[in-house]
Amino acid sequence: MSGVVGVVGVELASALNIVDRTGGAFVSRWAHVVVGITWIGLLYYFNFVQVPAFAEMEAAARNNAMDKIAWRALWWFRWAAVLTVLTGLSILIFQDQPGEYWKSPSGISIATGMLLALIMFSNVWGVIWRKQQIVIANARNVQAGGEADPAAAAQGRLAAMASRQNTIFSFTMLLFMVGTGHFFGSQFDSSDSGKRILFYVVAIVIAALLELNALGIIGGTAPGKTNWMYDTHKNALIAGGVLVVVYYLAFYLILKV
């Protein structure tokens, strides 16, 4: 009997390893993947499915879909974004990486992915959700027989631009998030602080210019010109692919061995 108890005790102690630092990092990463899939999956749903479909609907059907479907999807979307950020921070807390890690190619890679993810998060709560509340309220008001809000279309355009920019950012963000542990390693040299600073300057300037454009600060909100990438989901896909190449080339050319 004592032997059985001993075995059970050993197995229980082994199972409880999940609550130590290594286990915490694993659980955090698992949760990060689950909620991250939810967030980005819904982002792609909005851009590749809902927006093109809404453009083909009659106004009454579109308003009904906004009332019954869009607000539910936006609830999962915005809170999945929150949980993605929180679980990402949890990974960092449990891993407790030394300061030198952030000077390594892997550290620079994950930091770049985090930069883009945090910009995307700010777009979700600071732009997309704020503007979509106005659009949804307008749809519900019209369904109830009220007058349309003349500001709704402009607010919807700003939300759409931010959403498309998040889609464009997402491909590069995932490049660095996934590449941290699988690609951006010893084949790159980040020992030179000048090169590290140069890469961060390039990465931040590109992201800042695109974000300012998405907010309508650079090119306004009218279709075309600098906003061509927001006009269709196909354009967003093309822009997203180009951005991946640009960021990778910057990483390669600046930090190559």
- DSSP string of 132-153, one letter each residue: HHHHHHHHHHHHTT-PPPTTHH
> Tens of pLDDT along 67-87?
999 999 999 999 999 999 999
The whole-number pLDDT of residue 98 equals 77
The whole-number pLDDT of residue 14 equals 53
pLDDT over threshold 90, residue 215: yes
d(CA 74, CA 80): 10
Half-sphere exposure of 249 toward its Cβ, with a 13 Å CA cutoff?
Answer: 7
**Burial state string for 28-58 with b = 16 or more CB within 10 A and e = fewer than 16:** bbebbeebbebbbebbeebbeebbeebeeee
The tokens of 49 are what?
């499915």
Whole-prediction pTM value? 0.90
Per-residue pLDDT band at 6 (split at 50, 70, 90): low
Of 138, 168, 169, nearest to 67 by C-alpha is 138
